[in-house]
Amino acid sequence: MTNHHIGRVVIGCLTAGLVVGLGLVLGPLGGAQEHVITGTVLLAFASSWALLATLSLLWTDQPQRWAVMPAAFMGLAGAGLLTFAPSGTAIDAVGWVWPPLLLAVIAVTVVRARDLHSRTRSWVVYPLLGVYALCAFGGGYQTIRESIDRRMYVAPGQLVDVGGHRLHLNCVGSGTPTVILESGLGETAAYWASISTAVAHDTQVCVYDRAGRGWSDPASAPQDGVAVATDLHILLDRGHVPGPLVLVGHSSGTLYVRIFAGRYPEQVAGMVLLDGQPAEAFERLPTFPAFYDGFRRVSALLPSVARLGVGQLVFPANAGSLPANARSLRNEFAELPTSLAQARSFQNLGDRPLVVVTAALDAQAGWLPLQDEMATLSTNSSHRVVPYTHDALITDQTAAQTSSQAIRDVVHAVRFGTTL
């Protein structure tokens, strides 16, 4: 028997699993769904433990048969995710099961790893098992926190079944036209609080959470812009929200209101676009393709990371639904190219009132000319360039007043038939 140093075998095998796992999810599998990301990483880690058990038996005089246990657990879990969990809801269902099982496997492995007579036991194996234990504790805490939050925090609005899932809808104020606020990518209805409160003094304002965000149920599959617009149409009908409508979209929410207006023009009386995402982003924003590719890969990792309770450290006050929200963000971003193409088909609002508000501060190259072009969607439009950042139009109190005023101006124009 060739007596290779057991320490080199341990380091080589476990490092190989880490490198292969990260290489796959950041490389050819970049941007994949949560079950693919998590399942692939688990299989890579399982292979590294199995390789340790095999090579230590073949190449050294210290066979480490105990490594079969974490290999079997991670291999079965990874294969199960890839085979039986095409949606995040299946992973949600086992959130109560896998943390205690993993902790049990770790405890047994720690005891049996005493057969490893090498400094790598203390320097490599035990620290790695410690990381696994932290993941188990984090995953268990995330599951418990979500369960508690569902009981403690009740949706402020109503949950409306739109066919297979429920969407959260919250309307305040009274009067017509009704203002519909469409959130940007990854945001929930809650971030409209300042604007909805201000505009509700003049008319009815409705905010909602798209599928998988906030209090809304996840959809069975990723949704493109047409699916989002269809959901909104059904939501307003079943939620008994009267028209005519003034659609307000911020950032990528602009795509969804444009698609809605193209599919249901009889319901739309006016529109406000708050630093909206141009439908021609891939073709005419020089830095956007590279940004999209990078963020698509990063956003795909967020659901798996959030499920381990990491989000609790960053967003402790509102982290109960972070895995679902992260999954929704990943799905929306993956469908963004399709949604952009769908939004391009809508190019004419006629003479219905339109206000385009553009955030000039820190605007990327090519952004301002495309904002000018969006203002030509209507012959009755106003383009307002303001010295704020993209997010400030919603989140900053002063900048949000500019957004609220733009909405009021369109409401007034619709109500009295005036020009902007």
pLDDT band at 324 (very low <50, low <70, confident <90, very high): confident
CA distances from 41 to 120, 171, 229, 259, 409 (A): 22, 43, 35, 37, 52
Give yes or no for residue 320 having a pLDDT over 60.
no
User: Which pLDDT score is estimated for 321?
Assistant: 61
Mean pLDDT of 259-275: 97
Average pLDDT over the chain reads 92
Closest by CA to 185, choosing from 62, 281, 285, is 281
Give yes or no for residue 50 having a pLDDT over 70.
yes
Give yes or no for residue 269 having a pLDDT over 70.
yes
Dihedral class, residue 346 (left if φ above 0, else alpha if ψ from -120 to 50, else beta):
beta
pTM assigned to the model: 0.89
Reading the block at residue 55, the tokens are 């090579």
Given the DSSP bridges, would you call strands 205-208 and 268-274 parallel, antiparallel or unpaired?
A: unpaired
Each residue of 156-173: pLDDT tens digit?
A: 899 999 998 999 999 999
Reading the block at residue 310, the tokens are 């990491």
Check if the beta carbon of residue 213 is closer than 8 Å to that of residue 241: no
Each residue of 332-351: pLDDT tens digit?
A: 999 999 999 999 988 899 99
Q: What share of the chain is helix, strand, coil (3-state, %, to 5)?
A: 60, 10, 30
CA distances from 51 to 64, 92, 102, 415 (A): 10, 30, 20, 72
Check if the beta carbon of residue 209 is closer than 8 Å to that of residue 216: yes
Closest by CA to 80, choosing from 70, 91, 67, is 91
